[in-house]
Structure 1
Amino acid sequence: MKLALLALFFLLLNSSTAEVVLDIEDEPLLPGRDYYMVRFIWPGPGGVSLANSGNNKTCPVDVIAVPCCTHCIPPTENCNGEALKFNPLASIGIVTTNLPLTIRFAKTPSCAQSPEWILVKEEGAWLVGIGGPEDHPDREILTGLFLIEKSGVGYTLKFCPKHLPEICGYLGLHSDANQNIRLALTNDIPHIVYFQKAGEGSSAI
């Protein structure tokens, strides 16, 4: 119920300013379809993936920026990372800017409590992950919805907490204690991305 009210809040607020979100082929982003979300800037082009960053975790529940090095020996095999699904709460057939939605990986580990993106408090930062309290012991967790906003030639993502919909923050990149580049709330440079179609279908890993 609270998520539905949060969705209604943003639909009423942004209905006159919404634009269709386009993939790299200038086609509308479709709910439930698999897409790679690839960044434009530091640490170079690349997508996102799941990893186990440590901190007493036993399941890959941390969302990281895939390190991409095409000139290395051997080169990075998959710079696009893992595919995502974007699921708006309002069924309008396409994804638009400022439309509240949930995000999940197309393939999710069976050990995770939940496949949807959340925010977890670690090292003084709010980091993006999946799962629930069992996957992030002794950590604060924020649930909520995400918004896609147009930013130049690409897009940025915002996170809005379920209980405080008026307080939203952009996602950026954060280097953790183990040198993993993690998606996180930021007051600095937002994470600017584009969307690229991935293969059809999804499954558990």
Structure 2
Amino acid sequence: MKPTLVTTLCFLLFSFTIYFPLPFTHANKFIVKDIFGNPVVPSGSYYIWPDYLINGGELRLGETENSTCPFTVLQDYSNLGPGLPVKFTPQNQTSSDDPITLMLPIDITFENKPDCAESSKWLVVEEENEYPAPWVTIDGTNKNVYDGWFQIVGFKKTGYLIFFCHKLLSPTRGVCIYLSRRNDENGMRLVYEMDGDALGAVFVNVDDAARARRSSVLKKDHAFTLPMI
């Protein structure tokens, strides 16, 4: 075999080796990651913490109105505790090893539930004359439940917003609005409305919570700006 042909074949082999992974590199931009840069996966458990300069603390359940069961998803005003861990489950994805991606329709579920609740799956509900905006609860409240899904959207370089997409208003695409926060006597409710104080979030794997508390990753010098959706 002539040297020029050998050189050409080697060059082509090298080219295919270098350029074949590029589609996977591009797809990596759409993977949701925790604060240490690891992909968020359905098999993992995560804390939802406020993003940097966002006021408030971690997420928990609490009693609101006349309920005797802690159905309502609340954000603490302080950041003293880690909150309750959640799992992100794709609605149309079977493998627990595939990372969660931006805009993917997902269910969000607390890892544990109160005995008085039917499940710990997040729902968006409304009840006339009870609260001025639809809000996030877990299953069992007997309120009017919105049919839809959650999805995660990135903003800037610091974190994410969590959207809820209401299927009834648009069955094919949904009407998607980021979760905001409204003050409540027991904490900040997560609500589904356009004009609110958006819940800027980062995700922390439960196994990394202690390291995250100590880490310089959670810097306080980032400004919060809403994304253009």
* Structure 2 counterpart of 1:181, from 175, 188, 191: 188
* Structure 1 counterpart of 2:72, from 32, 55, 62: 62
Task: Name the residue aligned to 1:129.
Answer: 137
Give SS of 1:125's match: coil
* Structure 2 counterpart of 1:91, from 89, 94, 107: 94
Give SS of 1:157's match: strand
Superimposed CA distance per residue, residues 160-197 of structure 1 (whole angstroms, 9 cap, x where no aligned partner): 12333431111010113x35311111323421110001
If the length of structure 2 is used for normalisation, what is the TM-score? 0.68
Task: Name the residue aligned to 2:223.
Answer: none
- Cα distance in structure 2, aligned partners of 1:67 and 1:18: 32
Letter in 2 for 1:151: F
- Cα distance in structure 2, aligned partners of 1:168 and 1:148: 11
Task: Name the residue aligned to 2:19.
Answer: none
Superimposed CA distance per residue, residues 51-108 of structure 1 (whole angstroms, 9 cap, x where no aligned partner): 112x221211100002215xxxxxx3x1x21111100122351100000000010111
- Cα distance in structure 2, aligned partners of 1:64 and 1:24: 22
Letter in 2 for 1:29: V
Superimposed CA distance per residue, residues 14-72 of structure 1 (whole angstroms, 9 cap, x where no aligned partner): xx89700000110000103110010124433x22111112x221211100002215xxx
Matched, 1:36 2:47: yes
- Cα distance in structure 1, aligned partners of 2:147 and 2:115: 20
Is residue 51–residue 62 contact of structure 1 (8 Å, CA) maintained in 2?
yes
Flag the 1:179–1:42 CA change in 2: closer, same or farther, 3 A: farther
Is residue 82–residue 106 contact of structure 1 (8 Å, CA) maintained in 2?
yes
Is residue 73–residue 136 contact of structure 2 (8 Å, CA) maintained in 1?
yes
Letter in 2 for 1:61: F
Is residue 173–residue 186 contact of structure 1 (8 Å, CA) maintained in 2?
no
Q: Which has the higher contact order (CA 8 A, sep 6+)?
A: 1
- Cα distance in structure 2, aligned partners of 1:110 and 1:18: 40
* Structure 2 counterpart of 1:154, from 144, 151, 159: 159
Q: How does 1:90-129 map to 2 (within 5 A)?
A: 90-91=93-94, 93-121=98-126, 122-129=130-137
Superimposed CA distance per residue, residues 90-134 of structure 1 (whole angstroms, 9 cap, x where no aligned partner): 2351100000000010111121123211112241211110013xx
Is residue 18–residue 97 contact of structure 1 (8 Å, CA) maintained in 2?
no
- Cα distance in structure 1, aligned partners of 2:123 and 2:165: 10
Q: Percent identity?
A: 30
Give SS of 1:168's match: strand
Structure having the higher Rg: 2
Matched, 1:48 2:53: no
- Number of aligned pairs? 170
Is residue 39–residue 99 contact of structure 2 (8 Å, CA) maintained in 1?
yes
Letter in 2 for 1:91: T
If the length of structure 1 is used for normalisation, what is the TM-score? 0.75
- Cα distance in structure 2, aligned partners of 1:182 and 1:56: 16
- Cα distance in structure 2, aligned partners of 1:18 and 1:148: 13
Aligned CA RMSD, in angstroms, stands at 2.2
Matched, 1:171 2:173: no
Q: What 5-or-longer segments of structure 2 have no aligned partner? A: 1-26, 209-229
